[in-house]
Amino acid sequence: MVAAPADGGPSLAELLDFAHRTAADPAVLARLPLRPEERTWIALEGPGGSEAWVIGWPPGSGTGWHDHGGSRGAFATAAGRLTEQSLAAELPTEGWRTLELMEGVDRERDLPAGRGRAFGPHHVHQVVNTSPEGHAVSVHVYHPPLPLLRRYSRDGQVLRLEAVEEPGEWTR
């Protein structure tokens, strides 16, 4: 049996289930406007007070390296195909600007329509639509609602903290 989260919010399994169910709901997906040159999104209310988003990804678009400010989350691809590149290492959240990553910490997941994944509060990743011609659509859900996003740049094995964004800054 999996213990309930200490904050009383939804478990990773519940977040992932919500992402999958929403990604399979044509009425929700139809509300998302798709633009050829930029990502688009709509906000949803997730389970147990979580924050959720439906995101449209034009060909070649991506998030860049980031974390979720200590929130746990899940996402599922509704249409198209996304690639997630992540780090299999728990990074300190405070007190650094530059880290040298060890070899072997990189992971890559192919997430075609119908696939998803959940992640804990220290997850660092980037998500990319590598298709040269087709849009992708996905559903993302976070608990607690995102308190901030840390954005990183990456040069080989060097990860550099570039910005810390407050709620609302990433939806402008």
* Residue 172 pLDDT level (bands cut at 50, 70, 90): low
Dist CA 139 CA 77 (whole Å): 7
Q: Is residue 152 over pLDDT 60?
A: yes
Dist CA 61 CA 111 (whole Å): 15
Residue 55 near residue 141 (C-beta atoms within 8 A): no
* Residue 4 pLDDT level (bands cut at 50, 70, 90): low
Dist CA 148 CA 54 (whole Å): 18
Instruction: Identify which has the larger pLDDT, 144 or 170.
Output: 144
Architecture of the domain delimited by 12-171: Sandwich (2.60)
What is the mean predicted confidence (pLDDT) over 40-52? 96
For residue 5, the model assigns a pLDDT of 75
For residue 1, the model assigns a pLDDT of 42
Read off the DSSP letter of residue 51: E
Q: Is residue 167 over pLDDT 60?
A: yes
For residue 114, the model assigns a pLDDT of 97
Q: Is residue 3 over pLDDT 60?
A: no
Read off the DSSP letter of residue 12: H
Tell me the H-state helices in the chain: 12-23, 26-29
Instruction: Report yes or no on whether pTM surpasses 0.85.
Output: yes
* Residue 8 pLDDT level (bands cut at 50, 70, 90): confident
